[in-house]
Amino acid sequence: MEHKNFKNIDKVTYGRGSFSQLGQTIEPIRQTHNRYFVYIVDQYFKGKDLANRLQNKPEDLVYFIDVDPYEPTTEQVDSLRDEIISKKGVPSGVIGIGGGSIMDIAKALSLMLTNEGSSTLYQGLNLVKKPGIYHLGVPTISGTGAEVSMTAVLTGPEKKLGLKCDWTVFNQVILDPELIASVPRDWWFYTGMDTYIHCIESENGIRNNAFSLAYGEQSLKLCREVYLGDKAGQTSENDDKLMVASLMGGLSLTYSEVGVCHALSYGLSKIHGTRHCYANCVIFQHLGDIYPQGHREFMRMIDKHGISLPQHLSKDWDDATLTAMATVSINLPFMWHHAFGDDWQKKVNLDYIKGLFKRL
Ligand SMILES: [Fe+2]
């Protein structure tokens, strides 16, 4: 098995109120390139306090982007890139402020501002030809690990797949736990469970190792405090922890791999448009035989926070739909390989995956 050579984030600022250092953080980049910056901000913040604290300059372009209910698409990134280039040429850098989808758009945009053609050409591993421009991520929701991952997940006409290469990774992230305080309770749960599931899947598979386990164990410890501990709940102290848990969960899976839940989740999202974190929760509730310990703990968290997940979704799915979902999932062989080992193909085929989807 080849050993991964992971590109980490260049710089990280962490702490309450650290968002106020955004302006000074990007100043040297402005001076080097002597060009404007592009801000990609979640639409949610339009008209809110955060929108007045962007520290942007008059020449900068600020886009408020609605990522609900869909995840970012190749078309969305392409047209945004074309618009930016035609308006003002290549910027000094891109700043993404929002959840996982905004992180993905900022990362993809950074690459697509220097690489020609449609982003569909670059969906996959190391297909990007030139380094992107400077990009900085400010997560306002914690869990997906998008702030640290070397992939920018986009849904294209044919596949839901990341632009994955060293250049995808952020040059800088600012982790300010104050920013995640306004996350609605349901999403606080779903996105945190994405982190939790990253760690469970990372640990339970053949790519697990001491390096990924060290991050995964610490992330799990923080998740347990946030969702199961004596002081569980959406508090500022827990927001401080969740933000670090998300980062470390992301690092854990980067040095290992995700597994069955994520492979299924991509199939569910691609065919039905289900948001990533929510899709994971909808699926993980049915994976007790595959991840028994993690599943038990997950169900306790569901219980403790009174979260209700949909049941009997599959009764509306005909065979063609199930086949389409399973086809997306089986095309993530590295996840199945990690989860079930070298002879995974003896167990996993379209029918097996369709069987898993029928549990939903
Ligand atoms: Fe995930």
Low-confidence ranges of the chain (pLDDT < 70): 1, 68-70
CA of 130 to the centre of ligand 1 (A): 27
pLDDT given for residue 3 in this prediction? 82
d(CA 307, CA 301): 8
CA of 262 to the centre of ligand 1 (A): 6
CA of 195 to the centre of ligand 1 (A): 7
pLDDT given for residue 159 in this prediction? 75
183: alpha, beta or left? (left if phi > 0; alpha if psi -120 to 50): beta
CA of 273 to the centre of ligand 1 (A): 15
pLDDT given for residue 71 in this prediction? 77
CA of 2 to the centre of ligand 1 (A): 23
Around ion ligand 1, residues with a beta carbon closer than 5 Å are 194
pLDDT given for residue 160 in this prediction? 76
Distances (CA, A) of 60 to 27, 78, 110: 13, 20, 15
CA of 245 to the centre of ligand 1 (A): 13
CA of 83 to the centre of ligand 1 (A): 30
Q: How many angstroms separate the first and last alpha carbons of the chain?
A: 34
d(CA 277, CA 138): 18
The pTM of this model reads: 0.92
pLDDT given for residue 25 in this prediction? 97
CA of 191 to the centre of ligand 1 (A): 8
Map tokens 């190749």 to a residue: 74
Report the b/e string of 78-87 with b at 16+ CB within 10 A.
bebbeebeee
CA of 246 to the centre of ligand 1 (A): 10
CA angle, 28 as apex, 23 and 31 as ends, to 5°?
A: 105
d(CA 282, CA 196): 14
pLDDT given for residue 157 in this prediction? 85
Find out whether 206 and 336 touch, Cβ atoms under 8 Å.
Answer: no
pLDDT given for residue 69 in this prediction? 61
Task: Give the contacts of 245 (CB within 8 A, at least 6 positions apart).
Answer: 142, 192, 195, 218, 219, 222, 223, 226
